[in-house]
Chain A
Amino acid sequence: MIKLALGAALGALFAVAPAAFAQQAFPTPLAAAEALVDGVARHDDDAIARTLGKDHAKFLPVPRTSSEDVTTFLASWAEARRIVPAGDAKAWLEVGRYGWTLPIPIVKGTSGWSFDVSAMADELRTRRIGRNELDAIQVMRAYVDAQDEYKAGEGRGRYATRLVAAPGKRDGLYWPSKVGTPPSPLGPYVAKGGPYEGYRFRQLPATDAAAAGGVPVFVGWPAKWDDTGVKTFVVDRDGVVRQKDLGPESAARVREMSVYAPDASWQKID
């Protein structure tokens, strides 16, 4: 009798368990989003599993310990949230004031709306590329700032022709400095060529133009094409940055560059 009851209970448990972890579909994208956020806010693994599927920990592990990412997300959700449709069968959850969207799209299936976790990895890569490219553009401009600073100080009116100074000298943009003394114009992470924020950097060899007072041309290209970045950037003396996609062989093509001929295929960034 007891065995029978136990068996029935176990059977019931097995019958319920798969249902609890199967990814659920929702009548609207917003309902799906609310279910997910509710699960995250409660640290409720089962609830998250219902929205993202049983492998949810791979995509959205919700730590039991304090996590700045989770609390920031929840605070931003409380502040503003919006469903941004992309066509009839796809939508994004926008959260907070800066237009951020959850990198997991909500897609329409036969039974309703659900999160498409398979799309997340690629979406994260797209964002990484965007972020790195924006940062790399700033690095290009910061390089010109560093050259200006060098010219006004150590360079005594001349731009640096080397990124890293010769040992014991200050004939480049970066030299190791002692604690408590002013740092060199450029930091080691860029001066040594990266990778820094997913980009590598190089200065074209000094030429006559450089000797005549011009800044050497500075190039930044993605450390891993279509993964850490797509565009290759060059900057001139006035801080004007241009971009071009040099393709999967970006690194090799940058290595071949010896002079900078900015034809129309190099797009100017305003």
Chain B
Amino acid sequence: MTPLLARLRRFIVVLACFVPAVAGAQDDYRPFSKEQIDQLTAQVALFPDALLSQVLMAATYPADVAEAALWSRANPDEKGDAAVALVDDKPWDPSVQSLVAFPQVIVMMGENPTWVKDLGDAFLLQPEDVMDSVQRLRTAAQRAGNLASNEHVNVTVESRPPADFVQVVGAPPPPPQVIVIEQRNPQVVFVPMYNPVHMFGPWMWPAFPPVFIPPPVGFWWHHPISTGIWWGVGVGVTHAIWGHPHWWSRRVTINVHHHNRIHVRHPIDRWDPGRGDVNWSHRPDRRRDIPYRGGDRTRDQLQRRADRVDREQFRGRDVDRSRAEQALRDRGVSTDRDALRDRNRDDLRRQAQGLDPGRSRELDRGAARDRAQSIDRDAARDRAQNIDRDAARDRAQNIDRGAARDRAQNIDRDAARDRAQNIDRGAARDRAQGIDRDAALDRARAADRGGSRDQRVPALQGVDHRQARQEIDRGRASRESIQRPAGAPAQRPAGTPTQRPRGAEARPAQGQRPGGAQGQRPQVQRPSGAAQANRPQGGSRSR
């Protein structure tokens, strides 16, 4: 009887694997339909929000998911933060590493690779549709009486977007309401197990049955599934969950604090001022050889998006400031950051102390690389501050002191008094409540600076900058190009090759515009867009 049952179950598993084939072939350029997306999301739509966001991110790296699932099967007793720590050295994206905390989830994903790929592609290409689909299904489940708060989760309905919600022009209008599923205890995650066929009332699209991945045979969470949700056994986590879906703006953000605590080797070093969270961004360079739906065109599009995210650090927001702001919001973070830095420094000190040629090869390359990411930024900040300071001093010295004094004496005292009396107290109060971010940050930064700082050695800086070579080459090329008669404006004849000897490098090389055909253009505001439409994108420049 039992072997027969087992065989039957295996048959069902095999059958389930074929279902998502409906969702489309790999080189399909058409978007997924609403029905197809509901098929894909049904299996996870009732997951707690944070866990669901982790699943969506991880699904964009199907090769990593497959390997992680095998690992989890081989190590069935590992779960929670401890499991994530064990896979720290695997070459998987952090979102996949984090899912190892939940064997039930990662093994389930390993059961159906096609579903994972389709879900990931849908989330990459049609994130709005995926998020709306989840909401549609949650509403259906609630209506069917299958989704309500219990001892594991809180289920709440929001009927109004948050105050800071900005409707993006051209994006679909916000949903009428959103259903939020939160863990009761943020540090204990219960993974629901249910049969999507029964969960959402009569399934809306009979021709597109939901993907159902039953638990594989012989696993501890194995459970006969009926019409209810089985909430399984809670998994204790502290930092393994760091994603968060925003249903109104239809995106996923990352809590950098949690992320960097658990993924020490791959810290995120971009901070979104005002949140402490950053928008999630897919990294095509971590996708490995799994093609995207839409092929290379999709890959290019995603690469452009990733480049754009990398460039956010060049928007002129002080990184130090956003960190200070984070500290303002949550003092715990700054100590965490210090701990992170200390850890790296200890690694290094150990390496330096054991410095002899025989041992040198044993150095941890990963640690050095990770360090590079965080140190670059510190160096950049220091640089910026030094430059500012020099410029400020230069400026200050040039101020005509006499003129300043004259001005000061001429201030109309009556006018000043009038102004003072007219200060609107209401306005002052409003101002106080809406504390200026910049001012608050300056204060926070001053407070943050209390800790001891490293002494910098200019001659040794930059050794771990990824683009150390490019910086040197670029500086040389630019300075060599100015060896011309003094005073004469630099007028390089059209068509002259550049002086840079190396053309094709990782860094986008400077190329001369072809030919004098361009000539002296008529006075236009900007070069024609069409001519530049197909400009090649530089590779991702992580610093």
Contacts and interface: CB of A to CB of B under 8 A. Distances in A.
Interface of A: 41, 59-63, 65-79, 95-96, 98-104, 120, 124-135, 138-139, 141-142, 145-146, 151-154, 156-157, 174, 176-183, 185-191, 194-198, 207-210, 214-215, 217, 223-224, 226, 228-231, 236-240, 243-247, 253, 259-270
Contacts of A75: 348, 351-352, 363, 368
B316 A226 contact: no
Interface stretch (B73-81, B103-111, B509-517): B509-517
Contact of B388 (A79, A178, A195): A195
18 contacts: A66-B349, A67-B454, A74-B352, A100-B462, A130-B473, A132-B383, A133-B478, A135-B380, A138-B541, A146-B315, A176-B436, A178-B435, A181-B437, A195-B391, A247-B487, A263-B520, A264-B518, A270-B538
Nearest to A37: B355
B476 A69 contact: no
Interface of B: 164, 166, 168-170, 272-275, 308, 311-312, 314-318, 325, 328-329, 345, 348-349, 351-352, 355, 359-360, 363, 365, 368, 371-372, 375, 378, 380, 383-384, 387-388, 391, 434-438, 440, 452, 454-476, 478-479, 481-482, 487-492, 494-495, 498, 507-513, 516, 518-527, 529, 532-533, 535-536, 538, 541
Given A70-B352, A139-B314, A197-B383, 11 more contacts: A68-B345, A72-B348, A98-B464, A102-B460, A129-B479, A131-B475, A197-B384, A231-B478, A237-B529, A266-B513, A270-B509
A219 to B, nearest CB: 12
Given A79-B368, A238-B532, A154 B166 contact: yes
A158 B4 CA distance: 67
Given A60-B460, A78-B363, A134-B467, A183 B352 contact: no
B510 to A, nearest CB: 5
Contact of A270 (B360, B520, B536): B536
Given A96-B464, A259-B525, A262-B527, A134 B316 contact: no
Contacts of A152: 168-170
A72 to B, nearest CB: 5
B316 A217 contact: no
Given A182-B166, A270-B509, A72 B375 contact: yes
Please give me the 4 A-B residue pairs with the lowest Cβ-Cβ distance, nearest first.
A190-B316, A130-B475, A99-B469, A187-B317
B168 A153 contact: yes
A78 B361 CA distance: 7
B468 A98 contact: yes
A129 B470 CA distance: 11
A265 B491 contact: yes
B453 to A, nearest CB: 10
B106 to A, nearest CB: 33
A71 B185 CA distance: 42
A65 B455 contact: yes
Contact of A245 (B359, B436, B467, B481): B481
A60 B471 contact: no
A269 B507 CA distance: 11
B365 A79 contact: yes
Contacts of A141: 311, 314
B309 to A, nearest CB: 9
Contacts of B440: 179
A243 B273 contact: no
Contacts of B479: 126, 129, 226, 230
Nearest to A68: B454
Contacts of B349: 66, 71
B455 A214 contact: no
Nearest to B519: A264
B460 to A, nearest CB: 4
Nearest to A163: B316
A177 B437 contact: yes
Given A101-B472, A187-B317, A72 B311 contact: no
Nearest to A81: B360
Given A79-B360, A131-B471, A217-B526, A228 B387 contact: yes
A265 B519 CA distance: 9
A229 B371 CA distance: 27
Contact of B475 (A68, A126, A156): A126
B536 to A, nearest CB: 6
B455 A61 contact: yes
Contact of B318 (A176, A187, A259, A264): A187
B481 to A, nearest CB: 6
A263 B521 contact: yes
B434 A157 contact: no
B472 A189 contact: no
Nearest to A238: B532
B166 A181 contact: no
A130 B464 contact: no
B532 to A, nearest CB: 4
Contacts of A154: 166
Contacts of B476: 126, 130
Contacts of A101: 472
A183 B168 contact: no
Contact of A71 (B273, B352, B380, B538): B352
A68 to B, nearest CB: 5
Given A71-B352, A100-B463, A186-B315, A153 B166 contact: yes
A41 B352 contact: yes
Contacts of A177: 274, 437
A252 to B, nearest CB: 12
B328 to A, nearest CB: 7
